[in-house]
């Protein structure tokens, strides 16, 4: 009788752990980079002085004044941190 109870509780624990793991995996996929991280990525791509940052639903638009005096807009994907475009 004790063996049967132990096997049921073990199955419930395993099911809970799997559900919890799926939840954490899904929430990690939704994680986004911070505004500071987006600025750092943009400044690595185009060194210069930060002029402004705009947040959209899927990206950051970081405006930078380069050392040569040119204004660049670097678009950063807010989930992956990848540089999408530079203008």
User: What integer pLDDT is reported at residue 13 of this predicted model?
Assistant: 47
Please check whether residues 18 and 45 belong to one and the same domain. Answer: no
When pLDDT is averaged across residues 36-46 and rounded to a whole number, the result is: 97
pLDDT digits (tens, 9 = 90+) for 65-84: 999 999 999 999 999 999 99
Residue 18 gets the label, from left (phi > 0), alpha (psi -120 to 50) or beta, of alpha
Q: Are residues 19 and 52 in the same domain?
A: no
Q: Does 80 lie in the same domain as 41?
A: yes
In whole angstroms, what separates CA 31 from the centre of its chain? 4
User: Any idea how long the chain is?
Assistant: 87
- Are residues 78 and 44 part of one domain? yes
- Give the number of domains in the chain: 2
Which of 12-16, 45-49, 66-70 is the least confident region?
Answer: 12-16
Residues 43 and 61 grouped into a single domain? yes
């Amino acid at each position: 009788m004790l063996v049967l109870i132990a096997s049921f509780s073990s199955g419930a624990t395993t099911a809970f752990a799997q559900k919890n793991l799926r939840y954490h995996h899904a929430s990690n996929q939704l994680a986004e980079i911070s505004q500071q991280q987006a600025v750092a990525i943009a400044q690595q791509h185009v060194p210069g002085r930060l002029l402004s940052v705009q947040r959209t639903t899927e990206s950051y638009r970081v405006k930078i004044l380069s050392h040569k005096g040119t204004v660049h807009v670097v678009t950063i994907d807010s989930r992956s941190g990848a540089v999408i475009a530079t203008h």
